[in-house]
Amino acid sequence: MRLLVTGASGQLGAYLLRELRGTDWQVTAWSGSRAGTLFGVPLQPVDLADRAAVTTAFRDAKPHAVLHAAALSSVAACQGDPERAVQVNVAGTRHLVELATVNQARLLFVSTDLVFNGEKGNYTETDAPAPLSIYGKTKRAAEEAVLAVAGHLVVRVSLLFGPSLIGKDSYFDQQVRALRTGQPINLFEDEWRTPLAYPTAAQALRQLVASSVSGLLHVGGGERLSRLEMGHRLARVLQVDPSVIVAGSRLAASAAEPRPADTSLDSTRWCTLFPNVSVPSFDDALRQMLGGTDGPAWA
């Protein structure tokens, strides 16, 4: 079975390629611009905004399934260049849906908890999206394109965390370094998420793309935590002094777009469909990842 993974050179994409090692999938990996290999898989630079290039690359790949994880995912980048955000996140996804549908390939689209405005929290799949940011709005528009075709699947993932596997620091890496070196870090006490470790997200997406589940699904961690509490728990696992953590408010942050207060996800449907899935606690996930040795794998 042939699987196309988009966004393969991103933080989540690297974990996906690592998770897919040793499976029956024959993987084609698209990256935004980076060539080389990652976990033994050649990376093919494909710009999702280039319709002709996407069509050609898709026909060459001949996938039975598509795991679409590519996006202009920085909230700030989307706000700074909304036209590019629409080209990549919306038009690029619509085109992939068209290609997958015509070629009878199943498509799994990785979406975000930021399609919600954060006024409620503990969101289920039946709650109405109301994104605040351009990023969230483009992801919601992309969701609609996927959900318009029977058989495809939208998976909203919550805040992802973990060490980078691509040689480019993640926000998690920056936090770890700051705590270990005693550098002050400011964390919001009034923003809540259901954080999910990269390895758990990758395992879930591998299982889901091979399943027959369609429609909409939430995949998040089992605990609703504030940014501040995440930082204190990280300090505890690292066994470092947490006094360098400074509590702050998202309302006082200088940002061009508002930050939603609580985009925690209810993942009951996912856990019901996959009762054998293992979702470690936040602390256990930290211990597992920080003790791991499978680091950057660029070539």
Whether residue 296 is contained in a domain is answered as no
Active site residue 135: yes
Q: Mind listing the pLDDT tens digit for each residue in 57-93?
A: 999 999 999 999 999 989 999 999 999 999 999 999 9
Whether residue 250 is contained in a domain is answered as no
Whether residue 57 is contained in a domain is answered as yes
Catalytic residue among 15, 123, 135, 198: 135
Higher-scoring residue by pLDDT: 297, 91: 91
Q: Mind listing the pLDDT tens digit for each residue in 99-125?
A: 999 999 999 999 999 999 999 999 999
Cβ atoms of 102 and 149 within 8 Å: the answer is no
Cβ atoms of 216 and 178 within 8 Å: the answer is no
Q: Give the number of domains in the chain.
A: 1
pTM of the model: 0.95
Burial class of 65 by CB neighbour count within 10 A (0 to 12, 13 to 18, 19+) = middle
Whether residue 249 is contained in a domain is answered as no
Domain span at 31: 2-161+194-224+258-280
Whether residue 56 is contained in a domain is answered as yes
Average pLDDT for 185-209: 97
Distance CA 133, CA 72 (A): 13
Alpha carbons within 13 A on the beta-carbon side of 268:
6
Whether residue 292 is contained in a domain is answered as no
CATH number assigned to the domain comprising residue 114:
3.40.50.720
- 62 Cβ neighbours under 8 A, 6+ residues apart: 2, 103
Confidence of residue 292 (pLDDT cuts 50, 70, 90): low
Whether residue 198 is contained in a domain is answered as yes
| CA distance to 9, 76, 131, 240, per residue, from 261 (Å) | 30, 17, 12, 28
pLDDT at 255: 76
In eight-state DSSP terms, residue 293 is -
